[in-house]
Structure 1
């Protein structure tokens, strides 16, 4: 099985997300706060893919399998699960409600931005390939 490598644009994008501590061409290190929040939301019945998308982590960029594996790994982490179970619900204030509502669209926007970057990389590669074919290069 080969690991998909992240493009330079994907790495730059992922590094901008608060849910990410570090990124290499093949690895992502998630912020501990994200891991705990993710599992808190998972325990409340939210779907893993929806949680990741709301954080700007589209499956089209990081892959569905990576999401599944993270959830499985974090489920086995007693510290994460204990903190996720203890984590209080957000306060029901106007400010907190506004922040919670604005996070989801921002995550979707970030996810769409990343998808555009991925597609832009693919278009660049295809344009390069077409140019080579026009010049008579062999593939």
Structure 2
């Protein structure tokens, strides 16, 4: 079951640069935050630290939400990188 975000929390999250949109059950993160989070993750930074430093403390949004986001973003990033590598190989680069 998803943790519902009350109105006060939603309003606070909307003020963050890392957040593009918020509903009671979803947080949509900015593209810039996603890119920065992935770069820091590749360097070995903890997802919890990355989110906390962006104002998204796990006590507020839930640690599971952070882990699911990072997992989804890593998979998408991996797919994108593999697609580019395959495209470059087909182009003879």
TM-score using structure 2 length: 0.81
- Provide the aligned length of Structure 1 versus Structure 2: 81
Provide the secondary structure at the position in 2 that maps to 1:6.
coil
User: Are residues 1:39 and 2:35 paired?
Assistant: no
Deviation string, structure 1 residues 36-59 (Cα, Å, up to 9, x no partner): 100100100111000000000000
Q: Is the 8 A contact 1:22 1:30 kept in 2?
A: yes
How far does residue 64 in structure 1 lie from its aligned partner after superposition? 0.3
User: Are residues 1:68 and 2:46 paired?
Assistant: no
Question: Who is 2:57 aligned against?
Answer: 58
Q: Is the 8 A contact 2:21 2:27 kept in 1?
A: yes
Unaligned runs of 5+ in 2: 82-93
Q: Would you tell me which structure has more helix in proportion to its own residues?
A: 1
- What RMSD over aligned residues (CA atoms) do the two structures have, in Å? 1.7
Task: Please give the alpha-carbon distance, in whole angstroms, between the structure 2 residues aligned to 1:51 and 1:68.
Answer: 11
Task: Please give the alpha-carbon distance, in whole angstroms, between the structure 1 residues aligned to 2:20 and 2:69.
Answer: 15
How far does residue 4 in structure 1 lie from its aligned partner after superposition? 1.5
Task: Please give the alpha-carbon distance, in whole angstroms, between the structure 1 residues aligned to 2:60 and 2:45.
Answer: 20
How far does residue 78 in structure 1 lie from its aligned partner after superposition? 3.0
Provide the secondary structure at the position in 1 that maps to 2:17.
coil
Task: Please give the alpha-carbon distance, in whole angstroms, between the structure 2 residues aligned to 1:16 and 1:45.
Answer: 27
